[in-house]
């Protein structure tokens, strides 16, 4: 298979295991490219991509922009905070105005779940979801699985615990779909208030005790508390959360086994992850970021290579 099954990358739920393997195989080639002295290829020379971000981002926005530039695409960046969205323009009007400037592809982050799906019903350009509210963050899940594969040789058969604020996490949902499609076992762990009520129906194990989750897993993907999405209090204080769910070196070393520690960023140091773990040999957090560029190059390249694109 040399083509993706979908015109857009809206979520991991919509793509197949074969799509994931094609993206990984393509990312292998681009990873080799970005480690060369000349890190650029002409693959998307005639393509214009708009990165439209309605929510804050550091890693995803920079990673997409770098991926696009490494592929020689023309790039325009839009951030809602400094745009006419502030004057009341709708999402569709904003995007149609951008597309009328002959843009071929849209990379979009939006606070509303389903915003990129809505757009896909109204425009012809390829759309990549760079995170829609609490729904999905497909390229994050792809780079996470790719990093597990790189570190442990394979994703199939591995036990992955996703620990923290599962309730508000698009990273958790996309990771669950991606890991299960590749044959990994998935557990979610956090305080009851931060676990979605019906999460077990996705076929994941549910654990409230972080030590038990760490004893079970080969990989722990640690998530931050998303205070910006909380209108009510889900736990008494960050100090208490850190006491019961924070992962530090003392806890890790008491397990007498090796665990790979991942984090999608941004880290709240001293809350979900202590610095002595985040900066340790157990963590592959910066490898994840590095792999993000190759994964995004692969996604953009494959979408642009589709017939009629
Ligand atoms: N992992 C992630 O999505 O980080 P940003 O919010 O900084 O893009």
CATH topology of domain 12-136+289-304: Rossmann fold (3.40.50)
Tell me how far CA of residue 25 lies from CA of 120, 137, 299, in angstroms: 26, 20, 11
Is residue 308 pLDDT above 70, yes or no?
A: no
Average pLDDT across the chain, whole number: 95
Query: Do 113 and 135 contact (CB within 8 A), yes or no?
Result: yes
**How deeply is 298 buried, as exposed, middle or buried, from its count of CB atoms within 10 A (0-12, 13-18, 19+)?**
buried
d(CA 73, CA 63): 14
Tell me which residue of 301, 258, 265 sits closest to 25, measured CA to CA.
Answer: 301
Structure token pair of residue 203: 């076929």
Tell if the pTM clears 0.75, that is, is over it. Answer: yes
d(CA 63, CA 296): 7
Tell me which residue of 117, 113, 108, 114 sits closest to 85, measured CA to CA.
Answer: 108
pLDDT of residue 309: 66
Low-confidence winner among 67-71, 159-163, 188-192, 305-309 (lowest mean pLDDT): 305-309
267 touches ligand 1 (CB under 6 Å): no
Tokens 């995803």 locate to 60
Per-residue pLDDT, averaged over 176-185, amounts to 98
User: Which of 64, 65, 130, 266 is the best mutation target for the ligand 1 pocket, counting ligand atoms within 8 Å of the beta carbon and taking the most?
Assistant: 266
Is residue 275 pLDDT above 80, yes or no?
A: yes
**Proportion of the chain above pLDDT 70, given as a percent:** 99
**What is the whole-number distance in angstroms between the Cα of residue 226 and the centre of ligand 1?**
12
58 touches ligand 1 (CB under 6 Å): yes
d(CA 23, CA 81): 32
d(CA 227, CA 222): 16
pLDDT of residue 306: 86
User: Which of 79, 131, 172 is the best mutation target for the ligand 1 pocket, counting ligand atoms within 8 Å of the beta carbon and taking the most?
Assistant: 131
Q: What is the dihedral of CA 76, 81, 82, 86, to 10 degrees?
A: 120
> The dihedral of CA 81, 86, 90, 92: what is its sign?
negative
Q: State whether residue 129 is helix, strand or coil.
A: strand
Cα–Cα–Cα angle for 208, 186, 151, nearest 5°?
115
- The neighbour count for residue 275, using CB atoms within 10 Å, is 12
**What is the whole-number distance in angstroms between the Cα of residue 264 and the centre of ligand 1?**
7
**What is the whole-number distance in angstroms between the Cα of residue 59 and the centre of ligand 1?**
5
Per-residue pLDDT, averaged over 115-140, amounts to 96
226 touches ligand 1 (CB under 6 Å): no
- Do the domains 138-288 and 12-136+289-304 match in fold? yes
Tell me how far CA of residue 279 lies from CA of 93, 226, 267, 274, 283, in angstroms: 44, 22, 11, 9, 7
Q: Which CATH number fits domain 138-288: 3.40.309.10, 3.20.10.10, 3.90.226.10, 3.40.50.1370?
A: 3.40.50.1370
Closest Cα to atom 3 of ligand 1: 60
User: Which of 51, 54, 60, 162 is the best mutation target for the ligand 1 pocket, counting ligand atoms within 8 Å of the beta carbon and taking the most?
Assistant: 60
- Please state the domain extents for the chain: 12-136+289-304, 138-288
Atom of ligand 1 nearest to the CA of 140: 1
Closest Cα to atom 6 of ligand 1: 57
Q: Across the strands, what pairs with 127?
A: 106
Q: Across the strands, what pairs with 77?
A: 51
Tokens 């009510």 locate to 232
Is residue 193 pLDDT above 90, yes or no?
A: yes
Per-residue pLDDT, averaged over 205-229, amounts to 95
Query: Do 173 and 135 contact (CB within 8 A), yes or no?
Result: yes
């Amino acid at each position: 298979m040399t083509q993706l099954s979908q015109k857009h990358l809206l979520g991991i739920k919509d793509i197949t295991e074969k799509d994931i393997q094609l993206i990984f195989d393509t990312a292998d080639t681009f990873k080799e490219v970005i480690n060369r002295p000349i890190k650029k290829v002409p693959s998307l020379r005639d393509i214009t991509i708009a990165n439209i971000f309605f929510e804050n981002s550091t890693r995803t926005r920079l990673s997409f922009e770098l991926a696009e530039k490494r592929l020689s695409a023309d790039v325009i960046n839009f951030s809602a905070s400094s745009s006419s969205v502030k004057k009341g323009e709708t999402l569709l009007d904003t995007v149609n105005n951008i597309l009328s400037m002959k843009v071929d592809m849209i990379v979009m982050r939006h606070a509303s779940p389903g915003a990129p799906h809505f757009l896909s019903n109204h425009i012809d350009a390829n759309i990549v979801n760079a995170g829609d509210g609490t729904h999905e963050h497909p390229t994050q899940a792809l780079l996470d699985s790719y990093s597990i594969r790189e570190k442990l040789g394979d994703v199939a058969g591995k036990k992955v615990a996703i620990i923290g604020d599962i309730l508000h996490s698009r990273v958790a949902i996309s990771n669950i779909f991606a890991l299960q499609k590749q044959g990994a076992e998935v557990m979610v762990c956090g305080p009851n208030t931060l676990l979605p009520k019906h999460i077990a129906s996705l076929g994941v194990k549910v654990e409230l005790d972080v030590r038990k989750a760490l004893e079970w897993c080969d990989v722990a993907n640690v998530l931050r508390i998303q205070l910006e999405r909380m209108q009510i209090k889900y736990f008494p204080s960050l100090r208490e959360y850190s006491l019961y769910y924070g992962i530090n070196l003392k806890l890790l070393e008491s397990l007498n086994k090796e665990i790979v520690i991942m984090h999608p960023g941004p880290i709240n140091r001293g809350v979900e992850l202590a610095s002595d773990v985040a900066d340790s040999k157990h963590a592959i957090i910066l490898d994840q970021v590095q792999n993000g560029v190759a994964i995004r190059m692969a996604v953009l390249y494959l979408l642009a290579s589709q017939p009629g694109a």
